[in-house]
Amino acid sequence: MQRNRLPLSGAVLKNLAYLTMFIDHFFAAPFEGYLWQCYNAGQDLRVLLLIQQAGRSIGRVAFVLFAFLLAEGFAYTHNRRSYILRLGALAILSEVPFDLLFMAAPLEFEHQNIFFTLMTGMLVLAAWEWAQKRIGELRGDAAALPGAETGARVCLFRLAQAGALMIGCAAAYFLHFDYAHMGVLLIFTFYLLRDKPVAARVLPVACVMYFGDFSVSWFDNLLLWDHYYSAGELLRFALGEMWGLAAFVPIALYNGTKGKQLPKSFYYAFYPLHLLLLYALMMLAFGTTIRVG
């Protein structure tokens, strides 16, 4: 099937990403509070836990779609600096609502919201493409430079690319951004494979998600959890991230067009406002929040 005959635009994918994110956050916070209430009342939680697991599994789709859309947006946006600044501003504005809902505090630094991850991924892509353009210019002017000098400069820019990716991943992990370095690597993978057929992207993305999630947990287990979990348990935990591969169903139906989107202000306001809405729901229902981060 030709791509322009596929039914889903970028707007549909973006709306789906926001919807699945809302579902994930609902089951991660208000529904989690309801589970604790039922547990304290001595109720059987088996059915409720299955419902929560289903809701969180649907939520795994959200970040895969956001990573895909960010790689697409990076290719099409005319002002990347403005894009990065908007992501950074939204990350800062959303941190208090994020902490209120998930960390039961107005501000803490143990876990930062997903827009810090998206901003970092965008910075890595910008640095990578800047170096790639310099490499292209060097190769285009190769006749004007000795071969050894051209090779040495290309090598330096390759090292700059690798350094940008490593710094971005390290920042995402040590600054406790949502999805940590796995999130940055996923964005980068979608960027690298952007021109590949959808089927050719599934396995690399699955590997990044699985081993990326495992490595995040492994580092946490080593540095924070005092080796509480075995490697086998961490590998089993990483399997939960694989539900996100369901995002390839709408991605495979993506026609490459922007589509009719809602106003930008809606998308930028939705993230902090839905966090505040869920926080208000928890306060009304339970009189408190619970720490789920």
Convert the pLDDT of each residue in 165-221 to its tens digit.
Answer: 999 999 999 999 999 999 999 999 999 999 999 999 999 999 999 999 999 999 999
List the one residue out of 201, 131, 139 whose CA is nearest residue 165: 131
Q: Provide the residue count of the chain.
A: 293
State the amino acid at position 208 in one-letter form. V
pLDDT tens digits, residue range 94-114? 999 999 999 988 899 999 999
Q: Where are the alpha helices (DSSP H) in 193-289?
A: 198-223, 231-239, 248-252, 264-286
Is pTM beyond 0.75? Reply is: yes
Q: What is the spatial distance between Cα 268 and Cα 190, in angstroms, rounded to a whole number?
A: 23
Residue 61 and residue 244 in contact, taking contact as beta carbons nearer than 8 Å = yes
Question: Cα(first)–Cα(last) distance of the chain, in Å?
Answer: 43
Q: Which tokens sit at 172? A: 């995402």
Question: Cβ neighbours of residue 134 under 8 Å, at least 6 residues apart?
Answer: 157
The reported pLDDT for the residue numbered 151 is: 82
DSSP at 177 = B
Least confident piece of the model among 89-103, 140-154, 234-248, 250-264: 140-154
Mean pLDDT over all residues of the chain? 92
Between the alpha carbon of residue 272 and those of residues 24, 96, 187, the distances in Å are 15, 9, 22
Its sign, for the CA torsion 280, 285, 291, 293, is: negative
Q: What is the spatial distance between Cα 10 and Cα 3, in angstroms, rounded to a whole number?
A: 13
Residue 184 and residue 151 in contact, taking contact as beta carbons nearer than 8 Å = no
- What is the enclosing helix (H) or strand (E) of 76? helix 46-76
Partners of 8 in the β-ladder: 254
Burial class (CB in 10 A: 0-12, 13-18, 19+), 19: middle
